[in-house]
């Protein structure tokens, strides 16, 4: 299993373990809240549980309104437990929306209130929330620190229904740290308590994690036993995401054991469930599972089908990964700001203390003591300064990584606009040259090559095309199966964009021609390619809100596609519009093809172009 898959599964179980309790009667809870004869503390607790169980994860906008109502009521009644509960719910709201820095701020505020009123159970809950945030950021040492503090409090006060989840979370952290012996110890202790109190959610989560540990150690028999327990528990509670994930993991083991029939059944069921609930990540993992299985069976056509689906889903997830990186940067800044604020606070306290001492006693001993204090403070500030400098370097490094990831998805100008405004406006372009390529006989070739050979050959060609586009300053738009689409003249218009697009097309055909020669010498299958270009107006912008993609629209795109489909192998076919812009260029030679019927567009004047 890929490392990225391993991380995702463990993280999901951890978050889920903190976010799900046994279902309660929502009507009953709301009834208690509405009943003004009830004690204020009972009404506050009922409304808090009502928000958590009924709205926080399913209807967050409604939850936010109710959280504000809970806060106002608790504040009016001067009920600090209610205020802390509302603060925690606000943190959970931002946590659920991936806004880790804001979530940390609210969780820490809730923790301070609970410490003030000595609410042991609440302190443990807040510590678990903060530990969970650090787990999301993959800061396992800090996550472990907070989980262990929570566990210590829960064990001291015998909060069994908190001990079980803390044990599970600590086991997850040790699993991520690859300390499997400790991971199994904590997970098994957590599972025992989940089973004792009949908590199906906890049983499903913890069993799945124990299965992961055994799988990572290569003990597939034990792993399958625990995965089956997890799957059955998820099925009993009807949690479809958990079912989809469990099926995908079990299929991986079935593939390794050569049971491809069962693997395909599990993968397909996982994919169906993921499609039903709109879970993009689970769809991608299920497609990866089906791709791997059909590849093992030698069914290249089916393998390619799911590989292409996987690539499309992966493109959708890349923007989420970018968002995650940006959130990690924001979270790191928040942690650093908190640290610096604490240093400033400590300094003010110490300075006030020293002023008081100097007023009471100005003798020599006090003067020496003050000198020693400042010496120690200087050492402390040097350490803090060194820490801050190191932290800033880490943040800068992560920022650069996130920048590079964003630029790999969007043109630099669009990326800058997106960062500055949070959105990017669609724009009209009067003169853009659209380039389309397509491999002839691709379907027939896919039947003669293995899935691995097919994907490798496409990758070699498209990587070469990417370099050619970069060399000539044109923008790659996307790939669609075995087709490649690029555009010259956006997002920044250029006088040379049309010629550069044609030169790029000629270089692409030259690369394919050389590739055919290399493959023929080795007596191997190769691709032959058509390529077409048309120039005209388009609209360009970002598709979607979260899973965005830079794309272009307009009749120019359709005509460019017809230039490709009406072209010939090894040639660069251009429209009359493109020809008119370049006909006097001394570096190019044009051969008229006359008017040719293009599907849906009637007859269009076309030209072949070559370099002089």
What mean pLDDT do residues 507-516 have?
A: 94
What are 61-101's pLDDT values in tens digits? 788 889 999 999 999 999 999 999 999 898 888 887 778 88
Which range has the worst mean pLDDT, 5-14, 313-322, 490-499?
5-14
Tokens representing 528 are: 């032959």
Higher pLDDT, 351 or 539: 539
Distances (CA, A) of 520 to 300, 473, 534, 571: 22, 32, 32, 20
Bridge-partner residues for 538, per DSSP?
429
Give the DSSP H/E element, type plus range, for residue 272.
helix 260-277
pLDDT at 576 over 50: yes
Q: Which of 176, 188, 218, 135 is nearest to 7 (CA)?
A: 176
- Percent of the chain, pLDDT > 90? 35
What mean pLDDT do residues 471-496 have?
A: 89
What are 121-154's pLDDT values in tens digits? 889 989 999 998 888 888 889 999 999 999 999 9
Confidence of residue 29 (pLDDT cuts 50, 70, 90): confident
What local confidence, expressed as pLDDT, does residue 451 receive?
Answer: 76
Q: Give whichever of 131-140, 244-253, 353-362, 567-576 has the largest mean pLDDT.
A: 567-576
pLDDT at 266 over 70: yes
pLDDT at 167 over 70: yes
For 90, the 3-state DSSP assignment is helix
What mean pLDDT do residues 42-69 have?
A: 84
Q: Following DSSP, what letter does each residue of 452-502 receive, concatenated?
A: HHHHHHHHHHHHHHHHHHHHHT-EEEEEETTEEEEEES-SS--TTHHHHHH
What are 345-389's pLDDT values in tens digits? 555 655 565 566 556 655 556 555 555 555 555 555 555 555 556
List of residues 6+ apart from 163 with CB closer than 8 A: 151, 154, 155, 190, 193
| CB distance 213 to 183 below 8 Å | yes
Q: Which residues of 437-449 are buried (b: 16+ CB within 10 A; e: fewer)?
A: bbbeebeebbeeb
Tokens representing 445 are: 């070739």
Higher pLDDT, 421 or 15: 421
What local confidence, expressed as pLDDT, does residue 307 receive?
Answer: 85
Tokens representing 504 are: 């790029």
Bridge-partner residues for 319, per DSSP?
none
Higher pLDDT, 274 or 37: 37
Q: Which DSSP state fits 411? A: -
Alpha helices (runs of H) in 40-139, residue ranges in sequence order: 40-54, 60-76, 80-96, 100-116, 120-136
What local confidence, expressed as pLDDT, does residue 415 receive?
Answer: 62
pLDDT at 13 over 50: no
Q: Which of 429, 396, 462 is nearest to 552 (CA)?
A: 429
Q: Following DSSP, what letter does each residue of 427-452 receive, concatenated?
A: EEEEEEEEEEEEEETHHHHHHHS-HH
Confidence of residue 301 (pLDDT cuts 50, 70, 90): confident
Higher pLDDT, 104 or 400: 104
Cα 557 to Cα 569: distance, rounded to the nearest angstrom: 21
Which range has the worst mean pLDDT, 69-73, 235-239, 275-279, 515-519?
275-279
Residue matched to tokens 């990417």? 466
Query: What average pLDDT is seen over the chain?
Result: 81
For 603, the 3-state DSSP assignment is strand
Phi, psi of 184, rounded to the nearest 5 degrees: -65, -40
Q: Give whichever of 22-26, 299-303, 412-416 has the largest mean pLDDT.
A: 299-303
What mean pLDDT do residues 458-473 have?
A: 92
Bridge-partner residues for 210, per DSSP?
none
Give the DSSP H/E element, type plus range, for residue 284.
helix 280-297
Q: Which DSSP state fits 185? A: H
What local confidence, expressed as pLDDT, does residue 591 receive?
Answer: 95
Residues in the chain: 612
Residue matched to tokens 């372009």? 429
| CB distance 550 to 578 below 8 Å | no
Residue matched to tokens 């072209």? 567
Helices (H) and strands (E) in the chain, counts: 23, 8
Confidence of residue 400 (pLDDT cuts 50, 70, 90): low
pLDDT at 343 over 70: no
What local confidence, expressed as pLDDT, does residue 350 receive?
Answer: 56
| CB distance 155 to 192 below 8 Å | no
Cα 33 to Cα 75: distance, rounded to the nearest angstrom: 16
Cα 439 to Cα 529: distance, rounded to the nearest angstrom: 4
pLDDT at 559 over 90: yes
For 137, the 3-state DSSP assignment is coil
Q: Which DSSP state fits 117? A: T
Give helix 3-19 / helix 280-297 axis angle, nearest 10°.
Answer: 140
| CB distance 165 to 128 below 8 Å | yes
Confidence of residue 31 (pLDDT cuts 50, 70, 90): confident
């Amino acid at each position: 299993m890929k490392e990225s898959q391993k991380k995702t599964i463990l993280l999901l179980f951890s978050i889920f373990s903190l976010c799900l309790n046994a279902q309660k009667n929502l009507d009953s809870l709301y009834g208690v809240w509405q009943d003004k004869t009830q004690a204020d503390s009972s009404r506050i607790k009922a409304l808090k549980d009502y928000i958590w169980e009924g709205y926080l994860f399913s209807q967050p906008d409604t939850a936010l309104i109710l959280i504000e109502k809970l806060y106002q009521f608790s504040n009016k009644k001067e009920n600090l437990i209610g205020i802390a509960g509302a603060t925690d719910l606000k943190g959970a709201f931002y946590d659920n929306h991936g806004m880790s820095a804001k979530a940390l701020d609210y969780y820490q505020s809730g923790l301070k209130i609970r410490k003030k009123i000595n609410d042991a159970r609440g302190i443990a809950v807040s510590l678990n929330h903060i530990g969970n945030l650090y787990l999301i950021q993959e800061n396992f040492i800090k996550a472990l620190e907070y989980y262990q503090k929570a566990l210590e409090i829960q064990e001291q006060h015998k909060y069994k229904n908190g001990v079980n989840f803390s044990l599970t979370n600590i086991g997850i952290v040790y699993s991520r740290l690859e300390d499997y012996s400790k991971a199994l110890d904590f997970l098994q202790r957590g599972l025992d308590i989940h089973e004792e109190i009949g908590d199906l959610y906890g049983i499903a989560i913890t069993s799945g994690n124990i299965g992961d540990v055994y799988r990572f150690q290569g003990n597939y028999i034990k792993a399958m036993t625990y995965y089956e327990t997890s799957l059955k528990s998820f099925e009993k509670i009807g949690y479809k995401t958990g079912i989809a994930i469990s099926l995908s993991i079990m299929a991986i083991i079935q593939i390794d054991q050569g049971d491809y029939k069962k693997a395909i059944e599990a993968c397909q069921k996982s994919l169906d469930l993921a499609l039903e609930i709109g879970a993009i990540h689970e769809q991608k993992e299920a497609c990866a599972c089906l791709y791997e299985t059909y590849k093992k069976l030698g069914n290249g056509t089916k393998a390619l089908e799911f590989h292409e689906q996987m690539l499309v889903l992966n493109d959708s997830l890349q923007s989420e990964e970018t968002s995650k990186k940006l959130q990690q940067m924001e979270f790191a800044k928040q942690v650093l700001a908190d640290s610096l604020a604490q240093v400033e606070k400590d300094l003010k306290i110490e300075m006030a203390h020293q002023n008081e001492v100097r007023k009471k006693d100005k003798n020599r001993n006090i003067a020496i003591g003050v000198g020693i204090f400042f010496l120690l403070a200087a050492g402390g500030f040097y350490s803090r300064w060194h820490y801050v400098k190191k932290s800033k370097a880490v943040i800068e490094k992560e920022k650069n990584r996130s920048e590079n990831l964003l630029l790999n998805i969007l043109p630099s100008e669009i990326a800058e606009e997106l960062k500055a405004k949070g959105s990017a406006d669609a724009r009209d372009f009067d003169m853009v040259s659209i380039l389309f390529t397509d491999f002839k006989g691709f379907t027939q070739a896919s039947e003669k090559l293995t899935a691995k050979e097919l994907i490798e050959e496409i990758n070699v060609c498209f990587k070469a095309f990417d370099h050619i586009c970069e060399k000539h300053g044109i923008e790659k738009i996307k790939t669609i199966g075995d087709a490649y689409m690029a555009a010259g003249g956006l997002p920044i218009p250029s006088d040379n964009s049309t010629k550069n697009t044609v030169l790029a097309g000629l270089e692409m055909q030259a690369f394919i021609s050389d590739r055919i020669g290399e493959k023929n010498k080795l007596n191997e299958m190769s691709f032959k390619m058509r390529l077409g270009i048309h120039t005209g107006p388009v609209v360009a912008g970002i598709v979607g809100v979260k899973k965005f993609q830079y794309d272009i629209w307009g009749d120019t795109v359709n005509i460019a596609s017809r230039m490709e489909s009406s072209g010939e192998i090894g040639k660069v076919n251009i429209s009359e519009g493109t020809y008119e812009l370049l006909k006097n260029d001394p570096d190019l030679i044009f051969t008229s093809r006359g008017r040719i019927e293009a599907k849906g567009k009637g007859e269009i004047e076309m030209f072949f172009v070559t370099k002089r």
